[in-house]
Amino acid sequence: MILFEPGVCQVDVATGQLKGATNRYVKTFRDLAGLYRDESAYQALIATRGDDVAYEVTDYPSANGGDIIIGVTRMEPGKIGDEYFMTRGHIHARPNRPEMYYGEAGVGVMLLESPHGEIRTIEIRARTMCYVPPFWIHRSVNVGLEPLVMTFSYPADAGQDYDVIAKAGGMRSRIVDDGNGGWTTVDNAGYSGRHPSLVEDIMSRVD
């Protein structure tokens, strides 16, 4: 058996990157088509900022079962209409895998939805540790005025399934401006939920 070498990385809060990371990916605003309620506001943003980075991830990945992935995510502040910038969101392809997020800078909300359609929200500030349990769909939202920077870690074999949200017409709730500079949840009118057989299929994946 060949042992992996221990690794060390630095969280650069100012840039929102993990220094020493071996992998980086970005999502531009153009990549996020279909997520937001206000399509005309989305198109207006795309016209001027379509190629700008909405959020990025720098991580130190491994593909080995039993291992973990560590990384940092950074998301721009802003809104499309009254809806705060967010990540695409996913459930883990092996849905019984958990995740941890740790706030470094900014103010965020972790929006979580069970396969059955229950919603939870966790506000994340610097030094908040957020536990995403197995089987919860999760999306992070920047509800502050500054970039949202978080450290995260999850099992290396977790994978990501984005279709679970798209097929349900989005997540059940949207995170919007409450009119006083804060945030609140509103129902997503396009949400269709999941057929019980799909819920059963997700909940049975426990390998």
Of 83 and 99, nearer to Ni ion (C-beta) is 99
Nearest to 173, CA basis, from 104, 97, 121, 127:
121
Of 46 and 119, nearer to Ni ion (C-beta) is 119
Alpha-carbon dihedral sign for residues 74, 16, 159, 98: negative
Of 134 and 169, nearer to Ni ion (C-beta) is 134
List the helix and strand counts (H, then E) for the chain: 3, 15
Residues binding Ni ion: number (CB under 5 A): 1
Q: Which stretch binds Ni ion (CB under 5 A): 4-12, 72-80, 91-99, 195-203?
A: 91-99
Query: Does residue number 157 form part of the binding site for Ni ion (CB under 5 A)?
Result: no
Least spacing, CB of residue 61 vs Ni ion, in Å: 13
Of 45 and 112, nearer to Ni ion (C-beta) is 112
Give the Cα separation of 138 and 120 in Å (integer): 10
Query: Does residue number 113 form part of the binding site for Ni ion (CB under 5 A)?
Result: no
Give the Cα separation of 154 and 173 in Å (integer): 24
Residue with the CB atom nearest Ni ion in the bound state:
99
Query: Does residue number 99 form part of the binding site for Ni ion (CB under 5 A)?
Result: yes
Q: Are strands 23-28 and 53-60 parallel, antiparallel or unpaired?
A: antiparallel
Q: Contact residues for Ni ion (CB under 5 A)?
A: 99
